[in-house]
């Protein structure tokens, strides 16, 4: 279920991305800055990083990768001039290294003692230089059998940890990041990506013979494209071309510490760790993403254009670095320059708040978040932080509101628990005494009533009411719980239910569905209603039901099913009795429970749905008078025909569109030309 | 926040009495770095470095004959190429339209001819092929006639056989170059496409002399001469008043903010700051002009800026319906754009030889033309725009999200007055039927959810009593898709390739009204405005969108559209409605501008640009009040506030009564912060700062602006009051005063307002 939710989110994001078009006269910068809104959509925000200039030098031709050390020296791997270019913090050229040795330096990192490590993809070697430019060591392909003989060693990017271990990304190194110790010994592979198997691939593997598979394109995981290591030895990698897990934050054991739901890009090429535990990802389509330590997106900014020479607009972004002041340096391989970005006052405020927030000093961070919210009232993370702060101060109502604004279920649940707890504490006595009183009265009334039948008249009326045809038809549904098979016999042979009663239940079903969508507690709400138009929900809902009923009827007529269309129509909705009866109580339940008790909600929901499906199965069996085997066959065929129908309708829709398009263009052309 | 400390009274001997506003409580922890590169970036103005007298390049007069002279200037001409040289008699500096000893430079013959010739044309020959010809390419036939103040020359191009008349005149301190439309003759099927006039006037080689090119990008931008700087990959090329959307529509990446338009037809060259400068003003032909600037290293070793005139635009005629397939033919306009070319080159020297002097010179030119009139009335120094309602698309019908009902406006005005903010005006947006993006071009009736007619009248009256001007936002260009009044396509302007001109904002499409339709709409609405007692209007788009329309039977050339736009404004201006407030108006609408809204506060950040300067602001200050874009969207609050004071611009806020997130599903979803409650304190803060500073120079104009240090600017006004603005993180000290980091100081002149 959760998985679908994320897919769903992705879809929504895609839709919203298509919908967004430029129209902004506010910003002075050439590019736009976005953040995630509380709805999980990108919204514009104030400039987070201001393009303040560029680093350019006649020597620098094609910067591929850059590294910034603790003294804010900037090391650039330049494949154009085939050397490493070093600038000081003011952008003045200090020296160049590696002329004549390097063939195509594409990766650079600086380790302890200011040793430079350079990945050269053509020479298939990692070089180590002293800060003076003296060649200290060369690391070639490890000869360890663990490395694999057939494995290529073409180092692209690398990073070095505090102990001098090298983490090397190689071209086509599918087994993961190559880990070498400071003597160049192979330690193992690290943090490999998983091979993604598409539906088509699975199908192909299923159909094809083993040899055929071997001949075909090997399905191997993609190698990462960017790497960085923070001071605690945590490895960050990004992978270009991956849909999920494109950004990873790996602990020593090589497991990813980021949640799957990280808002990421498919074309990430480089990653760098910032000063507050935050990290930045650069994508080849010209965006810079900034995340906090847990993978929440803070900002996305930048733009890529082929013919524009403006500050902060990339042509071919290739590498990213950050200095100790939080300034970003982004290499542009095509323009041969490095763009410099400075954090704005807004971003500094946010970072300040974030720093306290990460340390758990929520209350202290509140001031900064308040200012951030003044500047952008939809800033999701700020609402979460405010919620935490209120929570810490035991202002649960406020924190509940903030979490709700931020769409944060965990936080909301916590606050709700506290509020509920307080309420229970306050009112338990009263409620308990009320219940005891009620029970007492009930028994009292029953006791008195046993002697003299006071309620005789009411009972009579009720019985008469029960005997009204429609009412009895409707009440039949309760029989299903006790005697499902008998009930379907009643429906089929004795005609104890009618079109009218079934239709009423269909409508009831829809209304209850809407109620469950709308009134399910915030924690469990799927928010379908807010995201999609009512019209779409109505058409999908009734479309699916109609499709099932019609297809089931058609399939069973050719399968010797006995049921008439009317039987199927009535039977289907009566089968959903558990849902019809329990949906409202479950919805109400969802409003008073927290995540801790979420199993109650999921369990009852599953029970409700499972029960309905079971009865549906019985219904098909009974109505059509099938054996169990025939019933299963019938259901599978029904589902299959449903899918085929949808596909056919879709194809027809596309064809029709094409025809309309064609006719339209003919008319247009005639009008223009004549 | 700013506390006044009068430094010393012993300075009474001098007429200047410095007041320093120092920041008192520095309670915010800022991790802002001390040594930032920002102030050396092109978003700021750089210091003047070279003080030595520049060497006069290209000053040789051999081959040139003197043809006219006045008290200030001498004009020389070469009879073969018609290139000119102008000598400034006061300092002997010679400005040249060509280069001496061209054989020294790496120029091929086409470039040499281009540099040397007065005119270079592009034309279509008999076969329809695009060709280039300069006067000297095929030794054009020239008939040179000497006139009292200059010369007339009839030119017949050697191959193209196109005939033109060039006339060059000296007047006071300027040279006027003109090419009248009436004298252009095209022979047979040959068609003129475009013309360059004296492209290399004031050109200089690499960094041989210090100085810069001035281009009208945003508020103004300078391209300094340097040898090893950022390489320009393609020229700065800006169509005056923006691209004609009737010809082409450029598509940008959706994450790129559009670059600024050239809203004034000027360009300039400086040879040594405070030494020599040349200002080019396009008087006629501006509607078809483009300003091109080349930095040394791009094509040639020279820095040059010029105007380029297009007689026939090329456009894309799609040949298939599927626009994504991109199948299209490149065609040239059949009919020639009819316009005279008239260019003024003003020679400036000494203290006027920089961008400030150029701006002052352009200002005096506009004053003389009657476009700018000295301000006398008192106008507010703060703009508050309130969003009334916005459209929200629904399943069956659209609804309106009410953000600020009109009757709430006096409430906010009262609240602000009670905290000392009383010098502001209000623009009320989104009052029209269906809200801001609702029903344009249809404006009436007033949106019901925001108030009734009587409420509108009452509010207008109430605010009038309080002396808070209330402007109603309106627009006579945008026409939203689906608006009922668009029935039939003839009210919509069409492109030359018969497609309707269209644009989009947050995924909502809108068309451009035909300029003539805009006039008739304005006339119709006029009565309605009166009915609702709407006395003042803030008009969007009409002042800044200039487009031709190629609808069958009623075409509108850019010239005509400009007249129509001015007609619309004058209709809205006449009678009950006072002068209007306009959003980023181009210069032709300035005559009808009471308030200039959303003035550019920066440039487009081109890499090759070295400085951003407040050229527009210097031209306007003291004549038209101008207001910056909304402070809501600033990311550097302190710095931007300082920039307001530096540029003499008044602050603006975009406000709503309700919470901004209600707009998240509407076309105004970009308005992510606007709630009055959250912005009130910032309004007070900015208002205080402006009252302490810019109030002292109300209705005065800027006389000088100099950069004292990287990131430190001194601006002096006509009443001798000056401001020192310190953008940096380090206090700035002079002999007499200290300006705190990120702060400003005021030095009052003797005849200041207070």
Residue A529: what pLDDT? Answer: 67
A667 touching B, CB under 8 A? no
DSSP B363: H
- Specify the higher pLDDT residue, B527 or A7: B527
Residue B309 included in any domain = no
Backbone angles phi, psi at B661, to 5 degrees: -70, -10
- Which pLDDT score, from 0 to 100, does residue B33 have? 40
B492: in domain: no
Interface test with B, best of A14, A26, A28, A346 (most B CBs within 10 A): A28
User: Do B715 and B658 fall within a single domain?
Assistant: no
Instruction: Please tell me the predicted confidence (pLDDT) of residue A22.
Output: 34
Residue B657 lies in a domain: yes
Cis peptide before B445 (omega within 30 of 0): yes
With contact defined as beta carbons under 8 Å apart, do A623 and A488 qualify? yes
pLDDT at position B487: 54
Q: Are B584 and B676 contained in the same domain?
A: yes
pLDDT score recorded for residue A143:
85
Among A46-55, A523-532, A589-598, B471-480, the range scoring the smallest mean pLDDT is A523-532
In chain A, which residue's Cα lies nearest the Cα of B219? A28
Give me the residue from A19, A27, A352 closest to B29, CB to CB: A352
pLDDT band at residue B221, thresholds of 50, 70 and 90?
A: very high
Task: Examine residue B234 and state whether it is found in any structural domain, yes or no.
Answer: no
Strands B625-630 and B650-655: parallel
Same domain, residue pair B130 and B173: yes
The arithmetic mean of pLDDT across residues B299-319, rounded, is 90
Cβ-defined contact of A377 to B320 (cutoff 8 Å): no
Q: pLDDT for A417-467, tens place per residue?
A: 898 888 888 888 888 899 999 999 989 888 887 777 777 778 888 888 888
Q: Is B237 on the interface with A (CB under 8 A)?
A: no
CB–CB contact B664 A43 (8 Å): yes
Query: How deeply is B309 buried, as exposed, middle or buried, from its count of CB atoms within 10 A (0-12, 13-18, 19+)?
Result: buried
The pLDDT score that the predictor gives to residue B502 is 81
Residue B23 and residue B5: Cα distance in Å, rounded?
10
Report the gap between the CA of B322 and the closest CA in chain A (Å): 8
Do residues B618 and B647 lie in contact, with contact meaning Cβ atoms separated by under 8 Å?
Answer: no
- Pick among A23, A657, A674 to test the B interface (most B CBs inside 10 A): A23
Residue A531 at interface with chain B, using a CB cutoff of 8 Å: no
Q: Give the closest-approach CA distance of B46 to chain A in angstroms.
A: 13
Between CA B621 and CA B699 the distance in angstroms is 7
Where residue A407 falls among pLDDT bands split at 50, 70, 90?
A: confident
DSSP letter for B129, please: -
Does residue B58 lie within any of the structural domains?
A: no
Out of A30, A44, A672, the one facing B670 most closely (by C-beta) is: A44
**Which residues of chain B neighbour A312 with C-beta distances below 8 Å?**
605
Chain B residue closest in CA terms to A286 = B255
Q: Which of B601, B607, B669 minimises the CB distance to A43?
A: B669
Q: Is the pLDDT of residue B511 over 50?
A: yes
Measured between CB atoms, does B127 come within 8 Å of chain A? no
What are the structural domain ranges in chain A? Answer: 49-343, 474-656
For the segment B709-738, the average pLDDT, to the nearest whole number, is: 91
pLDDT tens digits for range B129-183: 999 999 999 989 999 999 989 999 999 999 999 999 999 999 988 999 999 999 9
Q: Write out chain A residues lying below 8 Å of B605, CB-based.
A: 28-30, 51, 310-312
Same domain, B7 and B117: no
Return the pLDDT at B480.
82
| pLDDT of the residue at A44 | 87
CB contacts, 8 Å: B294 with chain A:
none
From chain B, pick out residues whose CB is under 8 angstroms from the CB of A378: 660-661, 664, 672
Contacts of B505 in chain A (CB under 8 A): 21, 23
- Asked whether the predicted pLDDT for residue B532 surpasses 80, the reply is yes
| Contact between residue B688 and residue B702 where contact means Cβ atoms under 8 Å apart | no
Tell me, yes or no, whether B166 and B80 share the same domain: yes
Chain B residue numbers touching A287 (CB-CB < 8 A): 255
pLDDT at A672: 52
- Among A587-596, B376-385, B612-621, the range with the most confident prediction by mean pLDDT is B612-621
Least confident of A303-312, A610-619, B3-12, B643-652: B3-12
What DSSP element (H or E) covers B456?
Answer: helix B453-466
Band of residue B407 on the pLDDT scale cut at 50, 70, 90: very high
Residue B490: predicted pLDDT: 74
CB contact under 8 A, B253 and A311: no
B413 plus B534 within the same structural domain: yes
CATH topology of domain A49-343: Neuraminidase (2.120.10)
Q: Are B673 and A28 in contact (CB < 8 Å)?
A: no
Residue where a domain terminates, one of B165, B197, B229: B197
DSSP letters spanning A27-92: --SSB-EEEE-TTS-EEE-S-SEEEEEEE--TT-S-EEEEEE-TT--EEEEETTTTEEEEE-TTS-
Q: Is the pLDDT of residue A674 over 70?
A: no
Residue B711 and residue B694 in one domain: no
- The residue segments making up the domain with residue B175 are 65-197
Residues of chain B found within 8 Å of residue A514, distances taken between Cβ atoms:
none
pLDDT over threshold 60, residue A213 = no
Question: B463 with B421, same domain?
Answer: yes
Q: In what order do the strands lie in the sheet with B502-505?
A: B478-480, B508-512, B502-505
Listed range (A291-305, B92-106, B577-591) with the worst mean pLDDT: B577-591
Pairs of residues, one from chain A and one from chain B, whose beta carbons lie less than 8 Å apart = 182
Binning pLDDT at 50, 70 and 90, where does residue B128 land? confident
User: Per-residue pLDDT averaged across A154-177, rounded?
Assistant: 89
Q: Which of A29, A50, A54 sits opposite B230 (nearest CB)?
A: A54
pLDDT band at B14 (very low <50, low <70, confident <90, very high): very low
* E strand or H helix at A587: helix A577-590
Choose the final residue of a domain: B176, B197, B218: B197
Task: Say if residue B571 is in the same domain as residue B589.
Answer: yes
* Residues on chain B touching A305 (C-beta within 8 angstroms): 252-253, 256
Query: Residue B289 falls within a domain, yes or no?
Result: no
Higher pLDDT, residue A210 or B409: B409
pLDDT-based confidence at residue A669 (cuts at 50, 70, 90): low
- The answer on pLDDT for A250 being more than 80 is yes
Highest mean pLDDT among A11-15, B564-568, B735-739 belongs to: B564-568
Q: How confident is the model at residue B308 (pLDDT cuts 50, 70, 90)?
A: very high
pLDDT value of residue B324: 55
- Cβ of B636 and A307 within 8 Å? no
Look at residue B340 and tell me whether its pLDDT is greater than 70. yes
pLDDT of residue A316: 93
Q: Which two tokens stand for residue B606?
A: 């081109």
Of A28, A374, A669, which has the smallest distance from its Cβ to B673's Cβ?
Answer: A374
Whether chain A has a CB inside 8 Å of the CB on B14: the answer is: no
Kindly report the nearest CA distance between residue B665 and chain A, in angstroms. 10
Please give the structure tokens belonging to residue A167: 């983490």
Is B42 a domain residue?
Answer: no
My answer on whether B140 and B181 are in the same domain is yes
Same domain, B8 and B103: no
Residue A182 has pLDDT above 90, yes or no: no
Q: Do residues B12 and B132 share a domain?
A: no
* Beta-carbon contacts of residue A605 (< 8 Å; ≥ 6 apart): A586
Query: Measured between alpha carbons, how far is A235 from A256 in angstroms, rounded to an integer?
Result: 9
Q: What is the pLDDT of residue A68?
A: 93
Q: Is B673 a member of any domain?
A: yes
Contact A561, A634 (CB under 8 A): yes
Which residue's entry shows tokens 């010209």?
A286
Tokens of A428: 């338990």
Name the A residues in 281-320 with CB < 8 Å from any B CB. 286-287, 302-305, 307-313
Taking residues A521-535, what's their average pLDDT? 74
Q: pLDDT higher for B232 or B322? A: B232
Confidence of residue B419 (pLDDT cuts 50, 70, 90): very high
Q: Residue B307 and residue B339: Cα distance in Å, rounded?
A: 14
Query: Is pLDDT above 80 for B338?
Result: yes
Comparing CA positions, the residue from B545, B541, B549 lying closest to residue B495 is B549
Render A136-193 in DSSP notation, one character per residue: EEEE-----GGG-TT----EEEEEE-TT--EEEEETT-TT-EEEE-TT--EEEEESPP
Which residues of B are less than 8 Å from A672 in CB distance? Answer: 498
DSSP B727: -
Specify the number of domains making up chain B.
Answer: 3
Whether chain B has a CB inside 8 Å of the CB on A532: the answer is no
């Amino acid at each position: 279920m959760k998985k679908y939710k994320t897919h769903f989110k992705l879809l929504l994001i895609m839709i919203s991305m298509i919908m967004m078009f430029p129209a902004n006269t506010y910003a002075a910068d050439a590019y736009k800055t976005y953040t995630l809104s509380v709805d999980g959509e990108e919204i514009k925000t104030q400039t987070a990083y201001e393009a303040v200039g560029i680093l350019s030098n006649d020597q620098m031709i094609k910067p591929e990768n850059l590294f910034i050390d603790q003294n804010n020296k900037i090391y650039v791997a330049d494949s154009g001039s085939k050397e490493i270019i070093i600038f000081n913090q003011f952008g003045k050229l200090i020296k160049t290294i590696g002329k004549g040795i390097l063939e195509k330096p594409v990766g650079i990192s600086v380790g302890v003692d200011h040793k430079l490590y350079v990945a050269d993809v053509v020479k298939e070697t990692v070089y180590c230089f002293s800060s003076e430019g003296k060649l200290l060591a060369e690391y070639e392909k490890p000869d360890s059998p663990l490395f694999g003989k057939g494995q290529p060693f073409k180092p692209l990017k690398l990073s070095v940890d505090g102990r001098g271990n090298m983490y090397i990304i190689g071209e086509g190194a599918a087994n993961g990041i190559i880990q070498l110790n400071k003597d160049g010994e192979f330690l193992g592979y690290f943090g490999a990506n998983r091979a993604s198997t598409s539906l088509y691939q699975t199908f192909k593997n299923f159909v094809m013979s083993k040899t055929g598979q071997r001949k075909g394109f090997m399905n191997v995981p993609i190698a990462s494209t960017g790497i960085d290591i923070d001071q605690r030895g945590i490895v960050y990698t990004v992978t270009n071309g991956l849909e999920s897990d494109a950004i990873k934050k790996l602990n020593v054991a090589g497991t990813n510490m980021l949640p799957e739901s990280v808002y990421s890009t498919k074309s990430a090429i480089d990653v760098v760790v910032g000063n507050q535990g935050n990290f930045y990802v650069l994508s080849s389509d010209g965006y810079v993403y900034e995340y906090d330590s847990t993978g929440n997106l803070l900002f996305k900014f930048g733009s890529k254009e082929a013919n524009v020479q403006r500050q902060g607009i990339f042509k071919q972004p290739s590498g990213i670095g950050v200095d100790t002041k939080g300034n970003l340096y982004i290499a542009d391989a095509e323009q041969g320059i490095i763009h410099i970005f400075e954090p704005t006052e807004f971003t500094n405020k946010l970072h300040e708040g974030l720093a306290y927030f990460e340390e758990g000093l929520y209350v202290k961070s509140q001031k900064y978040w308040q200012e951030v919210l003044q500047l952008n009232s939809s800033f999701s993370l700020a609402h979460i932080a405010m919620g935490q702060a209120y929570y810490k101060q035991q202002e649960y109502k406020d924190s509940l509101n903030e979490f709700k604004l931020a769409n944060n279920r965990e936080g909301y649940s916590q606050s709700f628990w506290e509020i509920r707890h307080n309420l229970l504490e306050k009112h338990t006595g009263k409620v308990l005494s009320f219940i005891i009183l009620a029970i007492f009265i009930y028994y009292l009334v029953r006791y008195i009533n046993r002697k003299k039948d006071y309620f005789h008249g009411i009972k009579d009326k009720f019985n008469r009411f029960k005997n009204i045809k429609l009412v009895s038809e409707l009440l039949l549904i309760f029989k299903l719980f006790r005697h499902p098979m008998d009930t379907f016999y009643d429906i089929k042979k004795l005609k104890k239910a009618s079109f009218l009663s079934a239709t009423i239940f269909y409508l009831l079903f829809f209304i209850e569905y809407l109620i469950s969508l709308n009134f399910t507690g915030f924690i469990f709400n799927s928010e379908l209603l807010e995201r999609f138009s009512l019209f779409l929900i109505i058409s999908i809902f009734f479309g699916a039901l109609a499709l099932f009923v019609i297809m089931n009827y058609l399939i069973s007529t050719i399968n010797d099913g006995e049921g008439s269309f009317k039987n199927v129509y009535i039977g289907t909705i009566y089968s959903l009795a558990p849902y019809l009866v329990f949906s409202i109580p479950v919805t109400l339940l969802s409003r008073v429970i927290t995540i801790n008790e979420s199993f109650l909600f999921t369990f009852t929901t599953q029970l409700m749905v499972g029960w309905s499906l079971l009865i549906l199965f019985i219904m098909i069996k009974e109505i059509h008078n099938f054996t169990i085997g025939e019933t299963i066959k019938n259901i599978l065929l029904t589902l299959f025909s449903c899918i085929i129908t949808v596909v056919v309708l879709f194809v027809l829709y596309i064809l029709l569109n094409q025809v309309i398009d064609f006719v339209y263009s003919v008319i247009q052309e005639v009008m223009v030309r004549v | 926040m700013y506390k006044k400390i009068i430094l010393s009274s012993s300075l009474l001997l001098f007429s200047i009495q410095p007041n320093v506003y120092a920041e008192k409580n520095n309670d915010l922890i800022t991790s802002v770095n001390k040594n930032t590169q920002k102030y050396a970036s092109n978003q700021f103005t750089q210091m003047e470095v070279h003080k030595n007298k520049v060497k006069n390049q290209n000053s040789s007069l051999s081959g040139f004959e003197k043809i006219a002279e006045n008290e200030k200037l001498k004009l020389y001409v070469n009879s073969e190429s018609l290139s000119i040289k102008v000598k400034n008699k006061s300092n002997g500096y010679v400005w040249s339209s060509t280069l001496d000893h061209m054989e020294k430079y790496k120029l091929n013959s086409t470039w040499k001819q281009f540099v040397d010739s007065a005119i270079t044309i592009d034309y279509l020959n008999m076969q329809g092929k695009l060709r280039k010809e300069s006067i000297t390419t095929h030794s054009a036939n020239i008939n040179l006639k000497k006139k009292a103040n200059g010369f007339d020359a009839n030119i017949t191009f050697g191959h193209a056989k196109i005939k033109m008349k060039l006339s060059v005149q000296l007047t006071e301190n300027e040279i006027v170059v003109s090419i009248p439309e009436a004298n252009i003759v095209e022979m047979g099927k040959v068609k003129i496409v475009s013309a360059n006039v004296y492209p290399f006037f004031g050109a200089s080689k690499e960094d041989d002399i210090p100085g810069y090119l001035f281009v009208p990008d945003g508020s103004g931008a300078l391209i300094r001469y340097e040898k090893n700087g950022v390489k320009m990959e393609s020229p700065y090329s800006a169509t005056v008043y923006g691209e004609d959307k009737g010809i082409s529509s450029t598509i940008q990446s959706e994450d790129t903010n559009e670059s600024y338009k050239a809203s004034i037809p000027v360009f300039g060259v400086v040879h040594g700051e405070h030494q020599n400068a040349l200002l080019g003003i396009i008087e006629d032909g501006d509607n078809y002009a483009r300003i091109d600037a080349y930095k040394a290293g791009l094509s040639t070793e020279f820095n040059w800026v010029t105007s380029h005139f297009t007689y026939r635009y090329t456009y894309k005629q799609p040949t298939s319906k599927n626009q994504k397939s991109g199948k299209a033919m490149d065609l040239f306009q059949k009919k020639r754009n009819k316009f005279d070319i008239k260019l003024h080159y003003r020679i400036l020297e000494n203290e006027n030889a920089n961008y400030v002097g150029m701006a002052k010179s352009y200002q005096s030119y506009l004053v003389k033309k009657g476009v700018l009139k000295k301000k006398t009335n008192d106008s507010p120094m703060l703009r508050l725009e309130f969003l009334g309602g916005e459209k929200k698309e629904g399943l069956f019908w659209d609804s309106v999200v009410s953000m600020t009902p009109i009757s709430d406006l006096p409430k906010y005005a009262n609240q602000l007055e009670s905290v000392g903010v009383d010098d502001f005006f209000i623009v009320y947006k989104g009052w029209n039927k269906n809200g801001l993006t609702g029903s344009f071009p249809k404006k009436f009736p007033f949106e019901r959810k925001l108030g009734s007619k009587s409420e509108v009248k009452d509010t207008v009256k109430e605010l009038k009593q309080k002396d808070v001007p209330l402007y109603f936002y309106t627009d006579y260009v945008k026409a939203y898709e689906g608006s009922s009044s668009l029935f039939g396509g003839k009210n919509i302007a069409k492109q030359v390739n018969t497609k309707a001109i269209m644009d989009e904002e947050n995924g909502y499409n809108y068309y451009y009204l035909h300029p003539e339709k805009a006039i008739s709409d304005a006339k119709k609405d006029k009565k309605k405005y009166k009915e609702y007692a709407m006395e003042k209007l803030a008009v969007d788009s009409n002042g800044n969108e200039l487009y031709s329309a190629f609808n069958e039977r009623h075409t509108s050339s850019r010239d005509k559209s400009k007249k129509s736009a001015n007609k619309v404004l004058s209709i809205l201006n006449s009678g009950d409605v006072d002068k209007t407030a306009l959003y980023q108006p181009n210069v032709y609408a300035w005559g009808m501008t009471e308030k200039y809204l959303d003035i550019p506060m920066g440039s487009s950040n081109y890499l090759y640009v070295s400085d951003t300067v407040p050229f527009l602001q210097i031209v306007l200050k003291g004549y038209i009040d101008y207001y910056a874009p909304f402070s809501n969207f600033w990311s550097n609050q302190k710095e931007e506030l300082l920039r307001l004071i530096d540029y003499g611009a008044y602050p603006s806020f975009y406000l709503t009564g309700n919470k901004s997130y209600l707009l998240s599903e509407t076309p105004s979803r970009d308005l992510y912060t606007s709630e009055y409650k959250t912005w009130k304190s910032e309004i007070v803060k900015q208002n205080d700062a402006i009252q302490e500073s810019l109030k002292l120079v109300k209705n005065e104009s800027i006389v000088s602006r100099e950069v004292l240090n990287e990131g430190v600017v001194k601006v002096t006004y006509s009443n001798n009051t000056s401001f020192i603005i310190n953008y940096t993180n380090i206090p700035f000290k002079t002999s007499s005063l200290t300006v705190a980091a990120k702060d400003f100081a005021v030095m009052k002149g003797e005849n200041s307002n207070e």
